[in-house]
Amino acid sequence: MFVVLVSCASVSAQVVSKDSLAVLNNQKKILALNKKLNDNKIELAELENKVPKATDEVASTADNAQKSVEQNKLAADKLGTDPQDKKLAKNASKAASTASRDAKRARKAVDNLEKLKRNIESLKKKIQEDETKLAGLNAK
């Protein structure tokens, strides 16, 4: 003899009104926007901390490039007095290569600083936009 007991439990789902659902979705958007805003502010602080080092790099590479140009000029002048001297020609060639390499480093340092400043400005703009969006969401 088999006895089957069927247990039926009524499952009651909590009914959530559309208003409270909208409020919860709004809070979710606010939290996501706050997280994004905080991440952007952290990144901005990190980028702004890199500016002094990048500025120093620009100054030092420009100084090195200027020194290399002066050494190249001296080597070229010496070579001009005796164009057939192999040692002077080799020294002039090395000085020219060094000046070229240092000038390239100086240009890269300037480019890096400009890129850093552009990134900072872009991030500030994004933060401003997110703060405006957040103010709009908080007003709801």
Domain range annotation of the chain: 32-139
pLDDT of residue 138: 84
Asked if the model's pLDDT at residue 37 lies above 50, the reply is yes
Q: List, as one string, the DSSP characters of 3-50.
A: ----------PPP--HHHHHHHHHHHHHHHHHHHHHHHHHHHHHHHHH
Indicate the burial class of 32 (C-beta count within 10 angstroms; 0-12, 13-18, 19 or more).
exposed
Q: What is the pLDDT of residues 119-136, one digit of tens each?
A: 999 999 999 999 999 998
> Which tokens in the block code for residue 110?
């300037």
CA–CA separation, 45 and 120 (whole Å): 9
Q: What is the pLDDT of residues 66-103, one digit of tens each?
A: 999 999 999 999 999 999 999 999 999 999 999 999 99
Confidence (pTM) = 0.75
CA–CA separation, 75 and 80 (whole Å): 9
Average pLDDT, the chain: 89
**Amino acid letter for position 109:** A
Neighbours of 30 (CB within 10 A): 15
**Amino acid letter for position 81:** T
